[in-house]
Structure 1
Amino acid sequence: MDDTKAVPRKIIHIDMDAFFASVEQRDHPQYRGQPLVVGGNPAQRGVVAAASYEARQYGIYSALPSRLAQQRCPHLIFVKPRFEVYRSVSQQIRDIFDRYTDLVEPLALDEAYLDVTTNKPEIASAMAIARAIKQAIRAETQLTASAGVSYNKFLAKLASGLDKPDGLYLIAPEQGQAVVEALPIAKFYGVGVATAKKMQALGIHTGFDLKQWSEADLRQHFGKTGSYYYRVARAEDERPVNPNRSRKSIGAEQSFAEDLEVLETMDGALATLAEEVATRMDKHQRYGYTLTLKVKYADYQQMTRAQTVECLLRDTETLYSMAKDLLRAHLDPIRKVRLLGLTVSNLSEPTALPRYTQLSLPLSPFCQ
């Protein structure tokens, strides 16, 4: 009989603190200590991309309409994003990660998972590595990061948010189950606002409540994601840190200074978006089978509709034609539109074979 047990992995989740806003405050001393957001001007119907901690005290957060942000804080400072600068700083931080491990999985410019079970400096303590990374980030970028340390990705990400900003938090193997059971369901990574409301309506308010449900029942209510909820309710997450994590979608969207109500005007916006998405796909040499149309109405209610075809979507004309069809099939004609977006998903390499084989039925008109 083999009594050996698998050695727990050592996972670190690094999350930069208010990254875009902190870069702006670093580079512009006059912004330090001031409520600041990176994002569109209220007059241009923009949204908040990032908020400083001073701004968050006024209830301002990412994705909040800039107009509402200004109402909550009349002296709020609006700064245009400088994505080239953010990408450059992000690369500096990534270079620091690479000193410790090759198993780095970026999630965005401002966060990443690191597997340091085996690491380059051969440091036994994941907490010591996380502390060293935080110190290097501060010394080399003048920015702060929060770090979560645990034995799987779910708990590491949870831990990084428990002591922000500039935090360092450990969830040890013997603590994982208790931490998850006490966690409010809305705090679970992967549970959005709509799903949290649905769970709460079913009597699921905490991780303990979630743990009482069978996997079959969770799948019945939440589809395949139910299996994920079943596992994390038990503090289980076997997902490896994947340094070759591939892009899952390519998209673009546009908010309008004035709400759109004429279909032809919306068509013009879709044409621009289709060209932008096609250009981005060419840049990344990744193409997809599914196109999703996003419509946000003037009252901020949102609608998404998708279509999947048999061939890779590659050119502007096809994207535009499909987008127009989706818009005409699903748009509420009596409501004004403040935002349109297009996203291509189910990505593949350009040399991939058709995703579906149909011998007796004709191909989609978009694939002819």
Structure 2
Amino acid sequence: MLKGARAPLVESTKGTNERKFIHVDMDSFFVSVELLDAPHLVGRPVAVGGTAAERGVISTANYLAREYGVRSGIATATAQRLCPDLVLLPTRFEVYEAVTRRLDAIFRRYTDKVEFLSLDEASLEVTGQSAFNGSATHMAMHIRAAIEQELGLTASAGVAPLKYLAKIASEVQKPNGLFVIVPKDVRGFLDELDVRKIPGVGPKTYAVLENLGCRQCKHVTEEKIPLLMRYLGVHGFYVWERCQGIEEQEERVTHIKSIGIERTLPFDCHDFSSCLQELDRLLEGLRERISEMGDDYLIIKNLVKLKFSDFSISSTEAASNTLSQETVTTLCRLLWDTRREGRSVRLIGLSVKVKRKIQDDIQLELPW
């Protein structure tokens, strides 16, 4: 078991030892599940996805196939050119979903705060749990052992005092590894982290950061905030926060609630322009719902959600005191560029978080 580099904490990570997160990411999940039913294919490059004749794409490839350059989201025809001996298997979502339900049962032995990002990836908050005297590291070790013993599969895990940092940590020792970032190591780990590892930093965002001289998180300083906001909008401030180890906790007050609208598309969406057209229609509908609320609430956040063709869901949010077309378009583009991975979009959701106006608390509690 490895730990992040040691370094003193700074103010932005103060108090992070109060929360504990485990991020579990299954290793080449779809393929690994298929190999349980086809053990004769172990040791061969295998992928799950649509056929080349149907202009299909690869959903998952095992690590042998990845050595040839086969990756999730690439065209099956391309994958077969890269790896002529590739064994292609059809997707069986009902089988994968059954395994995911068993995964969920394992996770809930330790906490009821389980959030699945997709069928093969979940975030667990284990703050205040009694198992193993509250040790998130030991919980992660036992979760991984249970997955291997009960399901015959392997998983990588990350442990950290921040949710997004636990996800990053889960990738460090992949496959079949565990990486722990203890609170006192957060600042040192982030300082040396490539900014491309920060959630939401795709090729376009990285191009801007690189032009600003920001290749590692330690380069994304407070002095850079005006330029980040200028070139990246509200997303630039989000990137700065994550580079500093700042992660806003979920609202704990009851006078904050969500109002949203979503639509399952009649046809899976493959291009961003069509996605934006649907987003514009949702904007109109949500504005009508907000207007019906009267003047008792203040908007504090905009949120966008996408459901993909494999039924996994990704969402993101940003602080805003209005329902802003510019903000939600930026959020949608962020999800499209960083989380879609070649999949089509089945559903688009749009919502705002609103806060009831209270006489003794009339200022917006914005994150900055």
Structure 1 and Structure 2 fold alike (TM over 0.5)? yes
User: What is the rounded CA distance, in whole Å, between the counterparts of 1:123 and 1:340 in structure 2?
Assistant: 44
TM-score by length of 1: 0.68
Matching residue within 48, 56, 61 for 1:38: 48
Distance 1:224 1:5, change over 3 A: closer
**In 2, Cα distance between equivalents of 1:37 and 1:294:** 22
Q: Is residue 148 of structure 1 aligned with residue 148 of structure 2?
A: no
Contact 2:107 2:143 in 1 (8 A): yes
Q: Which has the higher contact order (CA 8 A, sep 6+)?
A: 2
Paired amino acid for 1:168: L
- What CA distance in whole angstroms lies between the structure 1 residues aligned with 2:16 and 2:207? 37
The one of 141, 147, 154 equivalent to 1:137 is: 147
Compared CA separation, residues 190 and 239, structure 1 to 2 (3 A): farther
Pair 1:100–1:176, CA change in 2 (3 A): same
Q: Structure 1 residues 194 and 248, CA, compared in 2 at 3 Å: closer, same or farther?
A: farther
> Residue in 2 aligned with 1:89?
99
The alpha-carbon deviation at position 84 of structure 1 amounts to 0.3
In structure 1, C-alpha distance between the alignment counterparts of 2:117 and 2:344, rounded to whole Å: 25
Alignment of 1:1-368 (within 5 A): 7-119=17-129, 121=131, 123-211=133-221, 213-240=223-250, 273=267, 294-295=270-271, 305-306=276-277, 307-308=280-281, 309-311=283-285, 343-346=347-350
Q: Give SS of 1:175's match.
A: helix
In structure 1, the gaps of 5 or more residues are: 253-271, 278-292, 297-301, 313-338, 349-368
Q: 1:6 to 1:83 in 2, by over 3 A?
A: closer
For the pair shown, the structure with the greater C-alpha radius of gyration is 1
- Measured in 1, the distance between the counterparts of 2:175 and 2:248 equals 28
After superposition, give the CA deviation of every residue in 1:59-104 in whole Å (9 maximum; x if it has no partner).
1111011111111100101110000000000010000011101111
Separation in structure 2 between the aligned mates of residue 241 and residue 57 of structure 1, nearest angstrom: 44
Q: Report if the CA contact (8 A) 2:131-2:139 is conserved.
A: no
CA offsets, 1:142-201, max 9 Å, x none? Answer: 000111001001211111000011111101112111211211122222211222223223
Structure 2 length-normalised TM: 0.68
> 1:9 corresponds to which letter in structure 2?
R
Compare 71-80 and 22-31 and name the one that shifted more.
22-31
Q: CA deviation at 1:240?
A: 4.6
Report the Cα distance in structure 2 between the residues aligned to 1:151 and 1:163, rounded to whole angstroms: 18
Offset, 1:344: 2.9
CA gap of 1:304–1:199, structure 2 versus 1, over 3 A, is farther
- Matched with 1:357 is none
Structure 2 unaligned spans of 5+: 1-13, 253-257, 287-342, 353-368
Q: Counterpart of 1:17 in structure 2: which amino acid?
A: D
> Percent identity over the alignment?
36
Cα deviation digits, residues 100-137 of structure 1 (max 9, x gap): 01111111111111111122536321100000000111
Partner SS state of residue 220, structure 2: helix
**Mapped partners of 1:77, 1:127: distance in 2:** 37
Structure 2 SS opposite 1:23: helix
